[in-house]
Amino acid sequence: MSLLGHTIPDPVGVFLGTRYLRFESPIGLQGLARPTGERLDVLAVYSGRSRSGRLRAFIAAAKLEYRTICVWHIDNPIVHDALLRYGFTPEVQIDEFGEVLKGLRWDKP
> What are 30-72's pLDDT values in tens digits?
999 999 999 999 999 988 777 678 999 999 999 999 999 999 9
> In degrees to the nearest 10, what's the CA dihedral of 81, 85, 87, 67?
-80
Q: Looking at the domain assignment, is residue 27 inside a domain?
A: yes
Give residues with Cβ within 8 angstroms of 44, minimum separation 6: 31, 32, 73
Q: Looking at the domain assignment, is residue 1 inside a domain?
A: no
Q: Looking at the domain assignment, is residue 94 inside a domain?
A: yes
CATH of the domain at 94: 3.40.630
Q: Looking at the domain assignment, is residue 74 inside a domain?
A: yes
What pTM was estimated for this model as a whole? 0.92
Question: Across 2-99, where does the E strand assignment appear?
Answer: 6-9, 21-24, 30-36, 39-46, 68-72, 89-94
